[in-house]
Amino acid sequence: MFVKKLLLPALISLLAACTTTTTPKHPLIDASVKGDIRQFGGATRLKNEHAPAVKHVILFIGDGTSDSEITIARNYVEGASGYFKGIDALPHTGSYTTYSINKDRTIDYVTDSAASASAWATGIKTYNGAIGVDLQQKPRESILALAKKAGYATGDVTTTEIQDATPAALVAHVSHRKCYSPSSTAKLCPNEALENNGLGSISEQLLDARPDVTLGGGYASFEETARAGKYKGQTLLAQAQDKGYQVVTDRQGLDSITQANQNKPLLGLFAQGNLPVRWTGPQAVQGGSEMAAQRCQNNPEMTASTPSLKTMTEKAISLLEQNKKGFFLQVESGSIDKQNHLANPCGQIGETVAFDEAIQAGLAFAKTHPDTLIIVTGDHAHASQIIPTDSPSPGKTARLLTQDNSPMVVNYATSTGSSQEHTGSQVRTAAYGPGAEQVSGLLDQTDMFFIMKNALKIK
């Protein structure tokens, strides 16, 4: 007994020493924020942004897409034991924080798409509604602008209007996200209007930013006329053509393009507003969980003349890779969010499937071009949740029949109004390629800016 009393403290000390000296320390992850979250880079969480140099970076954004939206779509399409060949195939995963900052410098725990896109596009937190500007409404240079300046080809692809928040944050600087055109800019953010010596509407700034490839919807804004400057009285479409843009409006026109660069950039406008969604189905309603389970249907508005997100992604890659230095490309499936707002589960599931197909196209390229970094994430969490099939809900519900031939009830309960609201949860991140291990653990949206910037060795 006496010997045991003598040996026990020594044994405990020895075990403690072994534990201390052998516990591995991750060289990258330090999930505490490094500085003043209101300053450039202050909200980042990654300990050391030191990605190996790559030639190409592709950033895939599912708007309004968190684990809940992915799980709903996976259950419906692949079954509970299945997986998506794009979204679920990336080897490094984690999550990031998405909060924004109010103009009074307090925290807003539920971001909108504008503030979130501005965070990864420019590396700084800002207020909801801001596009490419900080809290003082000062323009911040985007990763696309920096990549272009460094000699890379650049692309911006979406299923929404190309003036919408996620694509706009790469090419514009406005104080209000809805300043799409000259008329809306004059009304909503007059300080940015050309007639007031501002930078102009998002559409006008896009033409000046001049990505090599821009694909999406938003044709209606280009039908408006400029109110000042060299092109005063002319439509923005005429302005684009005068500036050398190749303008296409359907799948056939897109297929005909063989080159896109700074001499002749490509502008694809495939809808007046947002592109049509792939699927339609039962709208979530009060008491919808008690209805018979239904399947989704093809949307007749999605015709062969409208390119899919996969098609646009493949075309953008094929054009951008002609640049010998490499490229930066952002691809967004934007209507996952919009259908979530509408409490339309089939709409959001179909757009998640389209997102997965586009990611698969990116991965196919990366597997033959190992100097490619692919990052997949969402911009914020949203309303849709899977709830028990026999549980009454105060929200809106829809009952779907999944691939497992089992009913799944999707619930929306973040608003009593016509539009469901975002939620403030952290969002999944995933990556493939050189430096992909950085996209793991807990990050912040602003970390993405620095990961991509350093991967492309941009100063």
Query: 246, 248, 280: which is closest to 265 by C-alpha?
Result: 246
Which uninterrupted H or E stretch holds 368? helix 345-368
Distance of CA 153 to the CA centre of its chain: 19
Does the active-site annotation cover 13?
Answer: no
State the distance between the two ends of the chain, measured CA to CA, in whole angstroms.
Answer: 67
Phi, psi of 436 (to 5 degrees): -65, -25
339 phi and psi angles, rounded to 5 deg: -75, -30
Residue 70 amino acid letter: I
User: Beta strand pairing status for 285-286 and 153-161?
Assistant: unpaired
Q: Under DSSP, is residue 270 helix (H, G, I), strand (E, B) or coil? A: coil
Return d(Cα 287, Cα 44) in angstroms, integer: 43
- Strands of 407-412's sheet in order across: 285-286, 396-401, 407-412, 385-387
Which member of 66, 113, 184, 203 is catalytic? 113
**Strands 56-62 and 327-333, how do they pair?**
parallel
Residues in the chain: 459
Tokens representing 310? Answer: 């996969």
Q: Please report, for residues 45, 51, 285, the alpha-carbon distance to residue 445 in angstroms, rounded to integers and kept in the order given.
A: 9, 17, 34
**Rounded-to-integer distance, Cα 439 and Cα 30, Å:** 13
Rg (CA), the chain: 24
State the residue for tokens 């925290």: 107
Q: Are the C-beta atoms of residues 103 and 90 closer than 8 Å to each other?
A: no
* Beta-strand relationship, 427-432 and 372-378: antiparallel
Q: How many helices (H) and strands (E) does the chain have?
A: 14, 18
Alpha helices in 80-169 (DSSP H): 113-122, 143-149, 165-168
Question: What distance in Å separates the CA atoms of residue 185 and residue 10, rounded to the nearest whole number?
Answer: 74
> In 3D, which of 408, 217, 188 has the Cα closest to residue 306?
217
Query: Which residues, at least 6 apart from 454, have a Cβ–Cβ distance to it below 8 Å?
Result: 49, 50, 51
Report which residue type is found at 105.
R
Active-site positions read 113
